[in-house]
Structure 1
Amino acid sequence: MERFETESLALMPGQKIQARVLSHHPWGVIVEIVGHENAGLSASIDMIQHYSRSVSSHDELLALFPPIGSQIDAVIERIQRWHPPVSVRLSIRPADLESLTSRCDFCGERLTLSPGGDALVLDSRSNDGPGSHTIVSHRHCLAERIRPENAGERARAWEIGKMC
């Protein structure tokens, strides 16, 4: 058994992907992420969570479900790698596809996960065994939590992922 599942590390919150709709369920749809079909991922879109406040009937909600077999644009909302299978929650809301926002796991304030946003995605793992946990934070929230005498790591928190 591998200590860490590694295939899903290519995926992160805020990333746009293509998904193929496999099945409909009362709460939403099960999909597979194109390019990761054999990765052992569980991927879904919670249509009730995303649209229940903006529709007036169940039939109107069902009309928003993408057809089975269709390939759709989506954005990764969150990934849970705590234990197999890796669980990926996606969004197809137009506003999220444009710019996905969430809350910082340190301060609780809104942050932008989409490219060009102010978020960092950290995957924490233990030396003791499998599994990992994804933490999303503002750059400044991470940098401020690094000891001042560790100036190099603080500086890297401010610069990681920025284009030169």
Structure 2
Amino acid sequence: MDRFETKSFALMPGQRVEATILSHHPWGVLAEITGHEDDGLSASIDMIEQFASRTSSHEELLALFPPVGSRVDAVVQQVNQWLPPVSVRLGIRASDLATSTWSCDFCGERTTLSPGGDALVLDARSNNGPGSCSIVVHRHCLAERIRPENVGERARALELGERDWGSPPLG
């Protein structure tokens, strides 16, 4: 089975990337993620969503658009792998670059995607064909939803990404 989204699995919400600005649009910019130029994905930065509430005029907002051809530091906010081409939503706010957060898809509260944070990113795929989605959750929200008798998976959900793999498992 040909899966169009396979190359995009290297990208996940909360990951820092570098991007080159390709074009300006009324809502924001299209960009190309460094290292993923040939992966068949589309990247964008929604400047209105990120900056409109902080600016007092449309001209002030337009002044914040990075110039075409410039390189920017960004953080992956979402990876949409539902239909081709894969689209990646990037954030460039200083606050996102410092600590990226997103709403937990289980409880709705904010969870921290940045390294050291409390978020896990789940990739949901099917054997029936291509297309997938990413689900962002608090690690404790996931652990609480795993059957209590499945102690091993509940424990792994709580330590995934936290464990020093040179050491024995916790507990």
Q: Same fold (TM over 0.5)?
A: yes
**Aligned-partner SS, 2:13:** coil
Q: Choose 98-107 or 154-163, whichever is displaced more.
A: 154-163
Question: How far apart, in 2, do the equivalents of 1:54 and 1:4 lie?
Answer: 37
Map 1:1-164 onto structure 2 (within 5 A): 2-3=2-3, 5-164=5-164
**How high is the sequence identity, in percent, across the aligned residues?**
69
Q: Choose 2-11 or 139-148, whichever is displaced more.
A: 2-11
Question: How far apart, in 2, do the equivalents of 1:79 and 1:107 lie?
Answer: 20
Question: How far apart, in 2, do the equivalents of 1:65 and 1:160 lie?
Answer: 37
Residue by residue over 1:87-126, the C-alpha shift from the partner in whole angstroms, topping out at 9 and shown as x without a partner, is 1000100000000111100001111111110000000011
Question: How far apart, in 2, do the equivalents of 1:79 and 1:153 lie?
Answer: 25
Letter matched to residue 8 of structure 2: S
Question: How far apart, in 1, do the equivalents of 2:93 and 2:3 lie?
Answer: 35
TM-score (norm 2): 0.93
Letter matched to residue 149 of structure 2: E
Question: How far apart, in 1, do the equivalents of 2:57 and 2:109 lie?
Answer: 32
**Aligned-partner SS, 1:130:** strand
Question: How far apart, in 2, do the equivalents of 1:3 and 1:31 lie?
Answer: 23
Q: Which runs of 5+ in 2 are unaligned?
A: 165-171
Number of residue-to-residue matches in the alignment: 164
Residue by residue over 1:8-48, the C-alpha shift from the partner in whole angstroms, topping out at 9 and shown as x without a partner, is 00000000000000000111000000000010101000000
**Aligned-partner SS, 1:131:** strand
Aligned Cα root-mean-square deviation (Å)? 0.9
**Aligned-partner SS, 1:30:** strand
Q: Which runs of 5+ in 1 are unaligned?
A: none
Q: Which residue of 1 aligns with 2:167?
A: none
